[in-house]
Amino acid sequence: MEVYVSESKGFSYARRSYMTAKYWHIRIREQSEFKKDRYGRIILRVHDIGRKGHSKRVAGILKNGKWATYSYLISKKDAKLENGELKATDPTVARTLAMIRYRYGEIYHKYDYHFGVRKK
């Protein structure tokens, strides 16, 4: 099953363009798996991975009430795109990418700054 990377509809246009300029987006789960608020938006929380202001983990509340990873935002300072594959230049991000590959499956380049995960 392929999982595609995209942005949450909750971001404003300015916020969305800022996020696309700074991060590679790796989506782990579909939006349909998450609980929505009364306005139809997914409830998300962002956590730093490693150094503050670099790569981030985006978590959301599943329909059963548990928190789970929605996507990872990998800083373009910490990883580069080489031959369609994401290569880490920072050791913390290298561990994160290895964990994503081990836990969720192969990371593939979809288009632009979007990546997805092919589930095992």
Residue 12 has pLDDT above 50, yes or no: no
CA-closest candidate to residue 18, choices 53, 48, 47: 53
Q: What is the pLDDT of residue 41?
A: 82
Cα 13 to chain center, whole Å? 18
pLDDT tens readout for residues 22-48: 888 888 888 888 888 888 888 888 888
Tokens representing residue 32 in the block: 């349909």
Predicted local distance difference test score (pLDDT) of residue 66 = 92
Is the pLDDT at 113 greater than 70, yes or no?
A: no
**98 DSSP 8-state letter:** H
- Give the global pTM: 0.75
Residues in CB range of 102: below 8 A, 6 or more apart: none
pLDDT band for 111, please (50, 70, 90 cuts).
low
β 44-48/105-111 pair status? unpaired
- Between CA 12 and CA 24, with CA 18 as vertex, the angle to 5 degrees is 115
- What pLDDT shows up at residue 6? 41
